[in-house]
Amino acid sequence: MEPTETVYGLGANGLNAEAVAKIFAVKGRPADNPLILHIADQEQILPLTTGLNENARALMETFWPGPLTIVVPRSAIVPDIVTAGLDTVAVRMPSHPVAAALIRAAGCPIAAPSANVSGKPSATNARDVAEDMTGKIAGILDGGSCGIGVESTVVDTTSPVPTILRPGGITREMLEERLGAVEIDPALNGDPALRPKAPGMKYRHYAPQAPMYLYEGKEADLRLTQAVLRAQKQGLHVGVLCDDTVKERLEESLRRGHTAEILSWGQGKPDLAEHLYELLRDFDRVSPELIIGMGVDEKGLGLAVMNRLRKAAGYQILLAEEGGITVKSGSGFPEFLLVAEE
């Protein structure tokens, strides 16, 4: 178990099928979901692939070490269990010094998924790893809290136009600046009719135990505030996910002794990315009846955090724009979330 700059990983020798099988068993991970191989030096990718094209090389040169995973054609030394039988392999060179030291000490690529039980939010600190993994693993390398907080960006370099299969720490804008055109896997917007190209993206993920609802749009903060005040009047025990500004406003408006669990990520998208998983796990510790959250725009890191937030909310999303609230996706919303007060 090692910290990386994105999230903690559950590692094993990536060229040893038996060791890799233990990862799947401990996580309860479906066998059709391939793993990322982590390396510590650029040249370490060469034996793992039958060839790197210009896009792959440009990405390695620009963003490694860092929160970017590239999907490349696999070579025969990569065990089938790592790639779930695909003819490509995902490779990443983390920038966290502890991860790099571990990979160098191991002397082999390390296969590592995020160190959470499948379906739970990824772990971004040693305590959260211990919560999911104690008794199941050999040990935890505690490198403190992860700075980025959401997983690496996964880019398929084998498609004619490089394609983002999972948004993450390296933003779409950064990729476009280096490569020109970049596509985004259309399945990422949650349409259940489309099959994501990264098998892991199809699973319900990152979900807290309580049902979660999300306000998006320009007036998300206003509508969230109003909804929480109504919930308080109805005596509901609600969890609230918001930024510092909204938290302060809510605490002023709610009467003393209120029961809302208001968890703030701080201010801005980097804070949201850094704390999102921790906060989702914290909601499970305080067990609200439901969670109401607010979204951010999709620029920069916004694409990655909104991908995670929408999944956490099971795509139960309300759009709050000037003039009212409409259902963006989902159904069966509690009535009090839909009231647009003047």
Residue with smaller CB distance to ligand TXA, 120 or 223: 120
| Per-residue contact string for residues 104-143; x = within reach of Mg ion by CB under 5 A | ----------x-----------------------------
What's the min distance (Å) between Cβ of 256 and ligand TXA? Answer: 42
Q: Which does 79 bind (CB under 5 to 8 A by kind): Mg ion, ligand TXA, none?
A: none
Give bridge partners of residue 212 from the DSSP assignment.
Answer: 291
Other C-beta atoms within 10 Å of 65: how many?
Answer: 20
Backbone dihedral region of 54: left (phi > 0), alpha (psi from -120 to 50 degrees) or beta? alpha
**Measured CA distances, 120 to 168, 306, 312 (Å):** 18, 17, 9
* Gap between the Cα atoms of 149 and 5, Å rounded: 7
Q: Which does 86 bind (CB under 5 to 8 A by kind): Mg ion, ligand TXA, none?
A: ligand TXA
Residue with smaller CB distance to ligand TXA, 30 or 180: 30
Asked if 152 is part of the footprint of ligand TXA (rule: CB under 6 A), the reply reads: yes
Considering only residues 75-114, where is the footprint of ligand TXA by CB under 6 A?
Answer: 83, 86, 88-90, 92, 94, 112-114
> Which are the contacts of 86, defined by CB distance < 8 A and separation ≥ 6?
34, 74
Considering only residues 55-114, where is the footprint of Mg ion by CB under 5 A?
Answer: 114
Asked if 211 is part of the footprint of ligand TXA (rule: CB under 6 A), the reply reads: no
Asked if 34 is part of the footprint of ligand TXA (rule: CB under 6 A), the reply reads: yes
What's the min distance (Å) between Cβ of 292 and Mg ion? Answer: 25
Nearest to 215 by CA among 339, 323, 316, 335: 316
> Which are the contacts of 179, defined by CB distance < 8 A and separation ≥ 6?
55, 58, 59, 162
**Per-residue exposure over 218-240, b if at least 16 CB sit within 10 Å of its own CB, e if not:** ebbbbbbbbbbbbbbeeebebbb
For the record, the structure tokens of 184 come out as 């985004």
Q: Which does 6 bind (CB under 5 to 8 A by kind): ligand TXA, Mg ion, none?
A: ligand TXA
How many degrees, rounded to 5, is the angle at CA 311 between CA 316 and CA 68?
150
1, 4, 55, 291: which one binds ligand TXA (CB under 6 A): 4
Other C-beta atoms within 10 Å of 285: how many?
Answer: 9
Residue with smaller CB distance to Mg ion, 69 or 225: 69
Asked if 316 is part of the footprint of ligand TXA (rule: CB under 6 A), the reply reads: no
149, 200, 295, 302: which one binds ligand TXA (CB under 6 A): 200
Considering only residues 53-72, where is the footprint of ligand TXA by CB under 6 A?
Answer: 69, 71
Preceding amide of 192 cis, omega within 30: no
For residue 58, the surrounding DSSP H or E stretch is helix 54-63
Asked if 166 is part of the footprint of ligand TXA (rule: CB under 6 A), the reply reads: yes
Q: Which does 78 bind (CB under 5 to 8 A by kind): ligand TXA, Mg ion, none?
A: none
Residue with smaller CB distance to ligand TXA, 108 or 262: 108
For the record, the structure tokens of 43 come out as 């040249």
Extended strands (E) in the chain: 12-13, 36-38, 68-73, 88-92, 110-111, 153-156, 163-166, 183-184, 212-216, 238-242, 261-264, 290-294, 317-321, 324-329
Asked if 273 is part of the footprint of ligand TXA (rule: CB under 6 A), the reply reads: no
Q: Which stretch binds ligand TXA (CB under 6 A): 150-158, 176-184, 215-223, 267-275?
A: 150-158
Query: How many residues contact ligand TXA, by CB under 6 A?
Result: 30
Asked if 117 is part of the footprint of ligand TXA (rule: CB under 6 A), the reply reads: no
Indicate the SS3 state at residue 34.
coil
Binding site for ligand TXA (CB under 6 A): 4, 6-7, 9, 33-36, 69, 71, 83, 86, 88-90, 92, 94, 112-114, 151-152, 154, 165-166, 197-201
Q: Which residues of the shown chain bind Mg ion in the complex (CB under 5 A)? A: 114
